[in-house]
Amino acid sequence: MTSPADQIPEATIARLPGYLRVLSALDAEGVTRVSSTELADAAGVQSALLRRDLSHFGSYGTRGVGYEVPVLVREIGEHVGSGIKWPVVVIGVGNLGRALARNESMLGRDFRLAALVDSNPAVVGTTVAGIRVVSDGELEDSIHRTHARIAIVATPASAAQEVCNRVFEAGVTSILNFAPTTIVAPAGATVRTVDLSQELHILAFHEARRTAEQAGSATTQSAQEYQP
């Protein structure tokens, strides 16, 4: 398709799985065509944004006809690596790592748990979700053995950068980082950091603004009601 990946905005890439989810559901229902407005509504975005996102991949739809659902499912699926069953190594098998491992569905159907690594001798050797946890000394080996290029880091922040350095050195090029720290990655590698607390703070920001607006309108109202 048209644009090289490094010219596609991250925000566009982040919306692709949402489009694919809606399109796959339509496809499963036997729907063959969808307008940009219908698709945008179902995905919860503006239709102009949807058209712009898809145009990055050369999908422009046809005026009055819309998009061919099976074609778009195949094309977006190829872009987001759908149907590959990517092996994923999880490093740090504490509360979070264990929860992810035990609920593989949280990873989505295109990813499979390939190895679990932890440094705690009390955790090493235990079995989580049918996989034996190996020691951090076996980190590189577990990456080579499973051919994983994606890793999830769920260690404390203090260990995360060193773990990531080793993981990159072993051939991983994509990390989903849960540790609350900024990871420095080599050129050509991708790190996505997930921070629930940051997401909650974004909601709190909007809540604070709504509260301030309500307080402001109440003040304005009472000022208008004031008749000297």
Show binding-site residues for NAD(+).
Answer: 92-97
155 binds ligand NAD (CB under 6 A): yes
159 binds ligand NAD (CB under 6 A): yes
194 binds ligand NAD (CB under 6 A): yes
Nearer to ligand NAD, 52 or 144 (CB): 144
Among 9, 81, 94, 108, binds ligand NAD (CB under 6 A): 94
Separation of alpha carbons 48 and 204, rounded Å? 29
Residue nearest to ligand NAD (CB): 94
Give the single-character DSSP code of 179.
S
152 binds ligand NAD (CB under 6 A): no
Task: Encode burial over 137-155: b for 16+ CB neighbours within 10 A, e otherwise.
Answer: eebbebbeeeebebbbbbb
Hey, which residues does 111 pair with through a beta bridge? 86
178 binds ligand NAD (CB under 6 A): yes
Q: Please state the closest distance from residue 142 (CB atom) to ligand NAD, in A.
A: 11
Give the single-character DSSP code of 135.
E
180 binds ligand NAD (CB under 6 A): yes
- Residue pair 88/112 in contact (Cβ under 8 Å)? The answer is yes
How far CA 192 is from CA of 96, 156, 183, 189, 225, in Å, comes to 16, 16, 9, 10, 52
Q: Which residues bind ligand NAD (CB under 6 A)?
A: 91-97, 117-120, 123, 136, 154-157, 159, 163, 178-180, 194-196
